[in-house]
Amino acid sequence: MSSLASIACFIGGREVPLSAGFEKCDPATGQPSALVAEADDALVDRAVSAARGALQGPWGRTRLGERLAFLERLAGHMEANLAILVAAEIADTGKPVTPTTQVEIPRAIANFRAFAQIARADAQAASGTTFETPMAGGAWARNTVSRRPVGVIGIVAPWNLPLLLLTWKVAPALACGNAVVVKPSEHSPRTALLLARMASACGLPDGVLNVVHGHGAGAAGEALVSHPGVDAITFTGETRTGEAIMRAASSGPRPVSLELGGKNPALIFADCDLEVAIAGTARSVFDNCGQVCLTTERLFVQRPVFERFAAGLVQAAEGLTAGDPWAAETRLGPAISAQQRDKVLGLYASAKTAGAQLLTGGGALAVPAPFAEGYWVAPTLWTGLPDDAEICRREVFGPCAHISVFDDEDEVVTRANASEFGLAATVWTGDADRAERVGGALESGTVWVNCWRVRDERAPFGGFKKSGVGREGGRHSLDFYSEIKTLCAFQPAS
């Protein structure tokens, strides 16, 4: 036990020694790698109180320019410590080092700079948000609109992109002047603690950024979202947990921002650049072992190119290198936990029982020692099932997809929209008019055309149907993390 890393909570500007904890395993090896603090209700209450106290202290008196300068200073400090953040992310998730170093951690850092720019531009645009209201007898009123922080924000972050999706929430929350209590996933606690340490080192006042570790239902997560001292809650994760958070938030009531699950379609038309579509779809299916809410698990391919597309995607799947996350050539990581691996393998078995035609994969993935006991699942592709089969309806969150054939545009749009989710969709076509027409008809919060997972922090992001509530990104994030206030001052007739 003593050889395991110790991951403490961070409250009021300092780490809290472990009094109770749980073992966390390295997903790449399946071996215990850390002892993580388990925050109880009292510790969560202490974190919320620390955040409330910070709002009543110097942080509550900061001007926007000071806060944005801090975000940019923190981004620079994180950049200087990139290797530390990468190592922590890999230890928690088993992600391959190349995309972690080149994409995930740099994007997490970029969120701070992006929201500093977004908030600065918003303040400049709002500087003229004053309007006059004429009144009887020549009197008038001056209306001035401004932003004020919401207060204490409860942030429940996911395990699939731990630091990236955490900073996506922390950056705008701090830009707007809030204090936060973060509950990272129990599967990926390291980078949240590192972020709190680095923020403190950059001069963030004590209590502005607090981290409590632990599980969800009946534990730290539930204690945080149920706490009456939390003024708003933001969550990224699966839909059932989001529903539970909405119920907890109704006591107050308090605003929620929920980015939830998806069963995202990709529509591949015969007029697309097929090689580009195969490469892009391979990324959208297998990236991060399929553990991204934006991955495409339902593929609809127009009949004339179906066989060529399927063969090309199988080749791409079978060319993925799994194993040592620190090897530059590794492109496929493990499932985050034994529980997640077993869930994915159970759905693989369900597809087989339903009569799916297996094109590649279909089970666990054998990886040589010292990674043989890791949580590996094979990249998997099927065809031959109807759209209402379980594997075509239920989010797997694994490296897999079902490939269906279609004939015409109206048909495929109807089929793609026949889902209880509506987070994202992808359209591959060489026809610009079709791209606009189909993109507009798809019931998804984001539709990519001839690309995937291209994100601009200024663009709104969120889902239709059971894929979420609200939007994040750009001004939409600022609107969630701030209260809009109008000051109306009467002016008598001159």
**Digitized pLDDT (tens) for each residue of the chain, 494 residues in all:** 457 999 999 999 999 988 889 999 999 999 999 999 999 999 999 999 999 999 999 999 999 999 999 999 999 999 999 999 999 999 999 999 999 999 999 999 999 999 999 999 999 887 667 888 998 889 999 998 889 999 999 999 999 999 999 999 999 999 999 999 999 999 999 999 999 999 999 999 999 999 999 999 999 999 999 999 999 999 999 999 999 999 999 888 899 999 999 999 999 999 999 999 999 999 999 999 999 999 999 999 999 999 999 999 999 999 999 999 999 999 999 999 999 999 999 999 999 999 999 999 999 999 999 999 999 999 999 999 999 999 999 999 999 999 999 999 999 999 999 999 999 999 999 999 999 999 999 999 999 999 999 999 999 999 999 999 999 999 999 999 999 999 999 999 98
Q: What order of strands is seen across the sheet that includes strand 21-25? A: 5-7, 32-37, 21-25
Cα 16 to Cα 8, 37, 51, 153, 264, distances in angstroms: 6, 9, 15, 20, 41
pLDDT at 128: 60
Q: pLDDT tens, 336-370?
A: 999 999 999 999 999 999 999 999 999 999 999 99
Same domain? For 138 and 236 the reply is yes
Same domain? For 254 and 300 the reply is no
At which residue do the structure tokens 């060319």 appear? 319
Same domain? For 255 and 272 the reply is no
pLDDT at 124: 86
In a domain, 143, yes or no: yes
pLDDT at 131: 84
Structure tokens at 416: 């793609």
Same domain? For 355 and 293 the reply is yes
Domain of residue 202 covers 5-260+467-486
Same domain? For 329 and 209 the reply is no
pLDDT at 252: 86
Within a 10 A sphere around the Cβ of 410, how many other Cβ atoms?
A: 11
Q: Catalytic one among 9, 25, 176, 293?
A: 293
Instruction: Provide the CATH number for the domain around residue 164.
Output: 3.40.605.10
Cα 283 to Cα 27, 224, 330, distances in angstroms: 21, 35, 14
Structure tokens at 485: 């206030």
Instruction: Provide the CATH number for the domain around residue 272.
Output: 3.40.309.10
| Catalytic-residue membership of 293 | yes
Q: Catalytic one among 38, 186, 222, 259?
A: 259
Same domain? For 242 and 268 the reply is no
Same domain? For 241 and 329 the reply is no
Same domain? For 141 and 236 the reply is yes
Q: pLDDT tens, 182-217?
A: 999 999 999 999 999 999 999 999 999 999 999 999
Please give the backbone phi and psi of residue 472, each rounded to the nearest 5 degrees, phi first. Answer: -120, 160
Same domain? For 144 and 237 the reply is yes
pLDDT at 1: 41
Q: What is the DSSP letter of 19?
A: S
Same domain? For 237 and 349 the reply is no
In a domain, 472, yes or no: yes
| pTM for the whole structure | 0.95
Report d(CA 394, CA 449) in Å as an integer.
24
In a domain, 281, yes or no: yes
Specify the amino acid at residue 114: A
Same domain? For 209 and 65 the reply is yes
Same domain? For 56 and 161 the reply is yes
In a domain, 481, yes or no: yes
Domain count, the chain: 2
| Catalytic-residue membership of 132 | no
In a domain, 333, yes or no: yes
Within a 10 A sphere around the Cβ of 206, how many other Cβ atoms?
A: 17
Instruction: Give per-residue burial for 111-138: e unless 16+ CB within 10 Å, then b.
Output: bbbbbbbbbeebbeebeeeeeeeeeeee
In a domain, 462, yes or no: no
- Of the candidates 264, 248, 267, 266, the one whose C-alpha atom is nearest the C-alpha of residue 256 is 248
In a domain, 41, yes or no: yes
In a domain, 383, yes or no: yes
Find out whether 374 and 25 touch, Cβ atoms under 8 Å.
Answer: no
